[in-house]
Chains A and B, each alone.
Chain A
């Protein structure tokens, strides 16, 4: 009993200090399967698994942003939820500051939790409509008993509100009185209240208008500098991910297919899927309209309940050969810091940064 308490106290003290190491979060071979079908019926309607996240490994560097992109259903949100243990993993390990957190006891997890917070996609459904803004932002502080007095609590909440650009007299209002952008600010203030080290942003701007998106993205960037935050930024829109990320991981059907520095990924992608994804982005300049098309991906995402054999992308890949249908490609480093899972990585992948340079000249 006392030993456990000692360990907990040690952990608490360690987490209170700023982290000096390089990798704030490390995910190793994370898997999350969902069971579907009936346990009692044979054959097709019998039990099977949806492999939402299937062997994903990556690291989040301290003070940096890792973007995770992919089409809907690729498992990016499940990855985020499993890291923060809103979902329990099937197997794999998650290390936060070197501590394995995916198997931690409830008590120890409570010590970790203030350090990892989350911002959700839908600012309309992620705030309780019956709570005032003050109580929404105060809730994490109350849960973790951070403040000693009501006065201190009030001070902290108002401080958080001013940090995210909300006027203090909004504190007694309800969420429905705010626009989407302001609600997302409330969500950000709530996530920030406990001064976390890592924030998992799950599509934080997808539901917002363009001009408001820019406001929220700029806010997230300035908060990162001010509080030395690390982000995992999950989104399906490549433009936003490119804007905020230092490194980007591309997911396809529950697996990572490529991970590289942002500029490198956009200038010379190695995986045919990334190439197709980049080619699909509409570029906001009509002068560059003519030059694309060739690398457009055909077809739809296959079902994760029954993923294709070998390389999961082979059904849509233009360079597919026999080996792709049989063998799962290994995760390897093709250039320093540039990882790809493909048997035949594209040599000079056509990114979309180059083309701009050509157009300027």
Chain B
């Protein structure tokens, strides 16, 4: 099935202005696309630029962060040069986002109903009564029991899982074209996480929404994603479909991540770690950013920055000496 491209990002760069007029680069030449109904996972450790990129796409970055992009196309129209007002119209209708902290992303002073029907009334131009009807319908859709009662309650009366369901209801209320989920289940318990992931899976199947799913958990990626971007120190180091990534990855960093993930389903899980720490943005290594931690680093890795190159259909790697067949089980 040919997918329509929902979002196309070309050469997104994000800088932070620092004292003394310098700037550090948090995201470097990020390019990717997501199709309708596709779930694109973005994995990486903290500080790799995954959240900053998503905020840049949403137009939510503020000073001292500066985002520059050749283009950010939503359904074929470039939104990277949009004014604040234009972006505000898009957010909540065409573009929406689910944040990590269900505790802090709802306003504690307003009822769930007020926050949800506001979003609906604002973008769908309907009356109050109609907005309420649709809001309750949304709450039922995300599996909230006693939706009428929850409509009238305040965020502090709900558990973390319930609040995250409400966030999802708000995000999906206007059938967005693109949904960005930034670590939507990280703050939740594993049983609640499973419920939320299941809910998201069901909701995606019914709609054509494209989803950017940001997480650090490879287990969640394996459960959810169609395609995956692996980010390290602000750049994409590998892009592949989920099967290829887990069974035939080509970048040593991806392999390191997989090695340090505990295989719950295997009896003797061996844990190999990546030595060292993620480099600081202010003090990026020359050449390949991963070379100080890479077990396969060679002389040219120190001086030459690898570009993201296509190695097979749908598989791209930014590495001068990509791994071959190391993970090939089949």
A300 to B145, CA, bound (A): 11
Q: Mark B125-166, 1 if CB is under 8 A from A, else 0.
A: 000000000000000000000000000000000010110000
Is A209 on the interface with B (CB-CB < 8 A)?
Answer: yes
Which residues 206-262 of A have a CB within 8 angstroms of B?
209-215, 217-218, 236-240, 242-243
Question: Contact at A238–B278, with CB atoms within 8 Å?
Answer: no
Nearest residue in A to B217 (C-beta to C-beta)? A282
Give the size range of B's interface with the partner: 35 or more
B242 touches A281 (CB 8 A): no
Contact A356 B269 (CB under 8 A): no
Q: Please name all residues of chain B whose beta carbon is closer than 8 Å to the beta carbon of A236 when the two chains form the complex.
A: 189-190
Query: Are the CB atoms of B198 and A293 closer together than 8 Å?
Result: yes
Say if the beta carbon of B89 comes within 8 Å of chain A: no
Q: Are A296 and B194 in contact, with the CB atoms below 8 A?
A: yes
With A239-B262, A239-B264, A287-B247 known as contacts, the answer to whether A218 contacts B195 (CB < 8 A) is no
Q: Which residues of B contact A (CB under 8 A)?
A: 45-46, 159, 161-162, 189-195, 197-198, 216-223, 225, 242-243, 246-247, 256-267, 269, 271-275, 277-278
Q: Which of A179, A263, A284, A297 contacts B218 (CB 8 A)?
A: A284
Number of A-B contacts (CB under 8 A): 135
Cα–Cα distance between A125 and B111 once the two chains are bound (Å): 33
In the complex the two chains form, is B277's CB within 8 Å of A181's CB?
yes
Please, could you name 13 A-B residue pairs with CB atoms under 8 Å apart, sorted by A?
A71-B190, A72-B189, A209-B45, A211-B257, A215-B260, A218-B271, A238-B190, A280-B191, A284-B221, A286-B222, A286-B246, A293-B198, A300-B162
Contacts A242-B262, A280-B191, A300-B162 known; A285 to B271 CB distance under 8 Å? no
A298 contacts B265, CB within 8 Å? no
Q: Tell me, rounded to whole Å, the shortest Cβ–Cβ distance linking A300 to chain B.
A: 5
Known contacts A243-B262, A296-B198; A283/B273 CB under 8 A: no
Contacts of B162 in A (CB 8 A): 300
Further contacts, 17 of them, CB under 8 A, given A210-B260, A282-B217, A289-B222: A182-B277, A210-B217, A210-B261, A212-B277, A213-B260, A215-B260, A215-B274, A218-B271, A236-B190, A263-B267, A282-B194, A287-B247, A296-B194, A297-B194, A300-B192, A301-B159, A356-B265
Complex Cα distance, B265 from A273, in Å, reads 18
Task: Answer whether residue A355 sits at the interface, using C-beta atoms and an 8 A cutoff.
Answer: yes
Asked if residues A284 and B194 are in contact (CB atoms below 8 Å), the reply is: no
Least Cβ distance of B198 to chain A in Å?
Answer: 7
- Across the interface, which residues of B come within 8 angstroms of A300, CB to CB? 159, 161-162, 192
A171 CB-CB contact with B under 8 Å:
no
Q: CB-CB contacts of A260-279 with B at 8 A, as 1s and 0s?
A: 00010010000000001101
Q: Does A87 contact B (CB under 8 A)?
A: no
Is the CB of A189 closer than 8 A to any CB of chain B?
A: no
Give the top 6 A-B pairs by smallest Cβ distance, nearest first. A282-B219, A214-B260, A214-B273, A280-B194, A239-B262, A211-B274
Contacts of B242 in A (CB 8 A): 286
In the complex, whether A346 has a CB less than 8 A from a CB of chain B is: no
Whether, in the assembled complex, A334 has its beta carbon less than 8 Å from a beta carbon of chain B, the answer is no
Q: In whole angstroms, what is the CA distance A211 to B274 when docked?
A: 6
A288 at the interface (CB under 8 A from B): yes
Picked from B217, B256, B264, the residue with its CB within 8 Å of the CB of A242 is: B264
B189 contacts A296, C-beta separation under 8 Å: no
Nearest CB in chain A: distance from B136 CB, A: 20
* Chain B contacts for A279, CB-based, 8 A: 194
Say whether, besides A72-B189, A296-B194, A211 and B260 are in contact (CB < 8 Å).
yes
Chain B minimum-CB-distance residue to A266: B264
Please, how many angstroms separate the alpha-carbon atoms of A301 and B197 in the complex? 18
Cα-based distance from A277 to B264 in the complex (angstroms) = 12
- Report the separation of the CA atoms of residues A120 and B279 in the bound assembly, to the nearest whole angstrom: 25
Kindly state whether residue A330 has any CB partner on chain B within 8 Å: no
Contact status B192-A284, CB under 8 Å: no
Q: Is the CB of B266 within 8 A of A214?
A: no
